[in-house]
Structure 1
């Protein structure tokens, strides 16, 4: 096989592997992921949590 054929075969194999991984991830991924069933405008369903001022240091590692 020449170099172009080898690279083409490798590229095609990568596409097949990634397409398979994407399909498997969609089949067994978290339920409701990407379905749009949550509405952040509804009270109580926002992903934002007010945890006070941000210092850049996680609270589990903060120095006293």
Structure 2
């Protein structure tokens, strides 16, 4: 039986929500091993004028704890 933990992370990108999610996973992977999944909990964006300037996500990253 595997033991799993969940880490909640906020990340951003000036390109897209997808890139923001990738940034969250890349950042988590620097200190957490055995990442198994990512769940997008929330998405928001900053707008200036008629353009989106920043995409933000809150994600839950699930990883397996070493036995």
Q: TM-score, structure 2 length as denominator?
A: 0.27
In our comparison, the structure showing a higher alpha carbon Rg is 1
Q: TM-score, structure 1 length as denominator?
A: 0.28
Query: Higher helix share goes to which structure?
Result: 1
Query: Higher strand share goes to which structure?
Result: 2
Higher relative contact order (Cα pairs below 8 Å, separated by 6+ residues)? 2
